[in-house]
Amino acid sequence: MSAELETLRERREALELVAAETDRARAGSGRLVLLRGATGTGRTALLEAVAGQAAARGTRVLRARCSSDGDTAAFAPVRQLLASGAEFESGVEPCPDPADTPHRWTRAEHLWDQLRAYAVDSPLLVAVDDVHCADESSRRWFVEAARRIDRLPVLLVATERSQYDLDPPPAGLAHALSPTLVRTHTVTPLSPEAAAQLVRSEFGTAPPGWVDDCVRAGAGSPLLLRALLDDLRAREPDGVPRTTLPESCAALYPGAYPAAVTWWLDSAGPATAGVARALATLDDDALEDEHPRETAELLARMADADPARVPGWLTAMTHLGLLRPGPRGRPGYAHPLLRDAVLSGWPSTRRQAAHRTAAEVMLRRGDRAETVAGQLLRASAVGAPWAATALLDAADLAARDARPDDAVAFLRRVLDEPLTPARRTTALTELGSLEFAVARSSGGIPRLTEATRLPGMPQDRVRAAVALGTVLARRGKARAAMDVLRGLDEQLADHPDLIRLLQTASALLSDHDQGIREEAYRWLYGAAERSPDLVGTAGRALLVRYDATAGLVSAATAMERIRALLDEPVDALAEPFLLGTAAAVAQWADELEEAEGLVRRGLARQRPSLLHPMHEALLNVRADIAAVRGRYAELLVDPEVRRSGGRARPGPANAHAHALIALVETGRTEEASRLADSFDLRDAQDSWELNRFLYARGVLRSAAGDPAGALDDFLECGRRQTARDVVSPVVTPWRTAAAACRTALGRPQDALALAREELRLAQVWDTPRLVGRALSGLATATGGRRGLELADRAVRLLRDAPAQTELISALIAQGRQFVAAGDRARARDALREAAERAERLGAVRLRAQAEDALPEGRSRGAATALTGWEALTGSERRIAALAAGGRTNAEIAELLHLARRTVETHLTSAYRKLGIRRRAELTAVIEGRAADPGDPAEVPGG
């Protein structure tokens, strides 16, 4: 089938109509056949087929094509028509030039006589293309001809554009004719099936999805579809299409498709083209919450079109197939490629102006700030205050919704608008902060530097300086960060509160450099001794934190001082420093719920778009709490963990250390090794986070069976921390870990020295978690009867601590010592409890350790029951039996010399293993089983 006939799919009805009318004309009774259709539906091709069909049947064909850009003289199409014959019949004079005939109607009659003369010897088919473009004189002539040919062997076939445009079209050719004189046929768009057949005729191996994309981009128009296939044929000369249809016309060559779309728009008139392009400029987000009526009003304003006709145009284009209804009935282009083609012929200045108009309309009708700002991103500078306000508001919303990339785009755009110094300072500070937060690049430094130098409110310059200092410190330039903060001192002579704030920020940021840290805290201590007011509430909180890490204060004393500071009034700028510091101390003191509350308060009062040292500090405390509770999944989804080690920052962060340990504990050692290897610690900047990472890498090496390598990491961590005057195990228990390595390497005396020092420092802080962990380490290093006593003390202490992982490790260590002492029954209880707790926590490594130790304490090859009565530990069985006998939790605690909380924990675990929910069910369970001779005697009621 030829290419011409391919475009005539689904046109059989029209061809049959004209064939029937041709036979009628040949019998002496002519008529007008009007082929009406939208632009691009193939009217011209159909007319050519009609003419060819008539000529093949012996009918003479006269042709004319009307054009608004062609000959504008009166009767030009008619003269073209009459001149199209091969020769004039004898006795018929050539058509004279209209200028030779002074009276128009006389000319019209003369032209009619010529047509009638043509029909004397042969039936005629008069084919007139695009009759809607004919001049007024020619239109009247064709109308009059239609009235006269009903008794002549003349068939007049004309094509006429029939499409809903924004500019109302003139009346059609058949408007003034009786229905008996005209037959009208509407040329409809191609059906999806016919369009798909046309695509497959060119690309027979195309996958269905690709064919469907072509059909949607062709929009039912033979013109557009044929142009698209021409471009695709040039792009895919082997006839094998790529997997997806491009969404941009830039990928099409030679560009027949965008040219066809542009021609289609031009033929529709400037108003229609303006609305079509306005619709193409609005993305889905801009129309997300709109009702179709609102969309129509917006398009009308953008294109300066008649708002009453836009809804009708949208409906008509949807019926044609160019548009498709989306969610809630909102219209959109049938394919992204079609949308891009609509925009391709629009100058950028016109497009920007349309976006500005859209933004103004959206603002006046109360749309969301982000919707308005989305239009402003695509418009040139407005120069009005409302534009800056919308962009700043949108940036704030995007930052709060954790969409920093969107916030950055809005803030970059707002800098093109005229801003007051205060607004520019705010915009630069937030933009510099977000650019660093998003990419960890130095791109934000120039913006923050400019913000610190602009005139404006002192508070704004301080915020900018703190943000700049945070960036510099995280990039390993702590000295430069201090210089930035101190550089504002002279400008803030009248603001002692702001000077105190800068000094507090300096002390906090000094954690990134050992030498600066010593200098900062020496000044802080000296100032506090002279007058506490010199350092402020937040500064005094930092001193409590320092004392805690230096092993100078107990947890109880530290919390007493912290709570007193929290009760004091504090200004808004200093509050984040106070909350973040208090949260860290509370977490070390095992006051985890209080610490979590402080973290929530601190994060809620932070501006996400402002870089602040306490923001990351609060996140670190949150991660520390998750680690204490054994929430490994939470630690592994931290966004910081997904950053590239080399590009993200000069060294690893606290989040990387936690993730490394979480991977080890969940049995993913290969991933842990890759994470550890992603950092070259030789080039890492000195910081407390590096020390944390060294400890975590030591944990990995120890788990991988490399105690010597692990010992090196633990000792280096300890050396660095001690140099910072951080000796308390509240930060990292490096001594306990190093002692275990020295024991494994056969150096028990060195292990004992480390373990004893760890216990001494832990007892200074005096929390169950620290003391219990240290006792367990010392028990392993000590061994023998004394080791068993220490292990028992450790387990009892840790049962009242919030750290499940510490208790599991202590139970495993205790179980191993029971094995060494030959006490298999008690070893079984400890190790099975450890395995069960590890299973609940998802601690794969700890569970494996417990199960590997079990055969040492019982017959080899026995299975480890984790549910049912056999899964209960000895303590759980005793407590369950007493509870079944009617004892209350308080009575059980007093009888067994346990804390009430420990009793509740054992009962909860027993319920879960036994598959029961209520205390009353315990009696049935116990009475329904035979006594186990291996179990310890359990007598309900004492």
Residues 6+ away with beta carbon under 8 Å from 75: 98, 107, 108, 111, 135, 137, 138, 141
pLDDT of residue 307: 93
Cα–Cα distances in angstroms (integers) from residue 209 to residues 6, 190, 196, 221, 226, in the given order? 22, 18, 11, 19, 18
Please tell me the predicted confidence (pLDDT) of residue 866.
Answer: 58
Among 750, 714, 716, smallest CA distance to 735 is for 714
Residue 326: pLDDT band by 50, 70, 90 thresholds? confident
* 71-80, 786-795, 817-826, range with greatest mean pLDDT: 786-795
- pLDDT tens, residue by residue, 865-923: 556 777 777 778 888 888 888 888 888 888 887 777 778 878 887 887 787 877 878 87
Q: Tell the residue number behind the tokens 């002192």, with chain if given.
A: 458
Q: Tell me which DSSP letter residue 169 carries.
A: P
The reply to whether 420-609 and 622-853 are identical in fold is yes
Joined tokens for residue 423: 């607004």
Mean pLDDT confidence for 227-246: 85
Predicted local confidence at residue 227, as pLDDT: 95
pLDDT at 779 over 90: yes
Q: Is the dihedral of CA 388, 394, 398, 401 positive or negative?
A: positive
Distance CA 554, CA 544 (A): 10
In this structure, which topology does domain 869-928 adopt according to CATH? Arc Repressor Mutant, subunit A (1.10.10)
Amino acid (one-letter) located at 550 = A
Distance between CA atoms of residues 62 and 86, nearest Å: 9
In the chain, the largest separation of any two C-alpha atoms, in whole Å, equals 138
User: How many Cβ atoms from other residues are within 10 Å of residue 626's Cβ?
Assistant: 18
**Which pLDDT score is estimated for 642?**
55
What SS3 state is found at 27? coil
> What letter represents residue 55's amino acid?
A
Q: In the prediction, which pLDDT does 654 show?
A: 92
SS3 state of residue 421: helix
Helix, strand, coil content of the chain in percent (nearest 5): 65, 5, 30
> What is the Cα–Cα distance from 276 to 316, expressed in whole angstroms?
12
Q: Is the dihedral of CA 731, 736, 738, 744 positive or negative?
A: negative
Look up residue 875 and give its two tokens: 């303590």
Range of 278-292, 514-528, 864-878 with top mean pLDDT: 514-528
pLDDT exceeds cutoff 90 at 112? yes
Which pLDDT does position 93 carry in this prediction? 47
For the record, the structure tokens of 261 come out as: 């779309």
Res 2: pLDDT: 41
Share of the chain above pLDDT 70, in %: 91
Task: Give the integer Cα–Cα distance in Å for 731 and 654.
Answer: 11
Give the pLDDT score at 647. Answer: 44
Ramachandran region of residue 400, left (φ > 0), alpha (ψ -120 to 50) or beta? Answer: alpha
Beta bridge partners of 324: 332
CA atoms within 13 A on the CB side of 893: 14
Q: What does the pLDDT look like over 343-360, one tens digit per residue?
A: 988 899 999 999 999 999
Q: Is the pLDDT of residue 230 over 90?
A: yes
pLDDT 10s digits, 559-593? 999 999 999 998 888 899 999 999 999 999 999 99
Model confidence at 99, pLDDT cuts 50, 70, 90, reads: very low
User: Using one digit for the tens of pLDDT, what is the confidence trace for 460-469?
Assistant: 999 999 999 9
* Distance, first Cα to last Cα, the chain: 101
Residue 285 has pLDDT above 80, yes or no: no
Average pLDDT over residues 724-743: 95
Q: Is the peptide bond prior to 254 cis by the omega test (within 30 degrees of 0)?
A: yes
pLDDT at 643 over 70: no
- In whole angstroms, give the CA distance from residue 556 to residue 616: 26
Enter the tokens of residue 580: 């973040």
Q: What is the pLDDT of residue 499?
A: 87
pLDDT tens-digit map of 168-200: 888 899 998 999 999 999 999 999 999 999 999
Q: Between the CA atoms of 834, 839, 845 and 851, what dihedral angle is there, to the nearest 10 degrees?
A: 50
In the beta sheet, which residues pair with residue 61? Answer: 125
Give the Cα-Cα-Cα angle 858, 861, 864 (nearest 5 degrees): 70
pLDDT at 927 over 80: no
Q: In the beta sheet, which residues pair with residue 184?
A: 34
Please tell me the class of the 622-853 domain.
mainly alpha
Q: What is the pLDDT of residue 904?
A: 81
Side chain identity at residue 770, one-letter code:
L
Which pLDDT score, from 0 to 100, does residue 527 have?
A: 85
pLDDT tens string 384-435: 999 999 999 999 999 989 899 999 999 999 999 999 999 999 999 999 999 9
> What's the whole-number mean pLDDT along residues 527-534?
84
pTM of the model: 0.70
Cβ(247)–Cβ(290) under 8 Å?
no
pLDDT (0 to 100) of residue 597: 96
Number of C-alpha atoms within 13 angstroms, CB side, residue 684?
23
Locate the domains of the chain by residue range. 3-85+112-186, 192-346, 420-609, 622-853, 869-928
Higher pLDDT: 377 or 487? It is 377
Taking the CA of residue 161 as centre, how many other CA atoms within 13 Å lie in the half-sphere pointing to its CB?
20
Q: State the CB neighbour count (10 A cutoff) for residue 488.
A: 19
Query: What is the band of 442 on the pLDDT scale with cuts at 50, 70, 90?
Result: confident
Is the confidence at residue 209, as pLDDT, over 90? yes
How is domain 3-85+112-186 classified at the architecture level of CATH?
A: 3-Layer(aba) Sandwich (3.40)
Cα–chain-centroid distance for residue 183? 58
Cα torsion 207, 212, 218, 221 to 10°: value is 110
Q: What is the CATH topology of the domain spanning 420-609?
A: 1.25.40
Question: Using CA atoms, how far apart are residues 480 and 482, in angstroms rounded to an integer?
Answer: 5
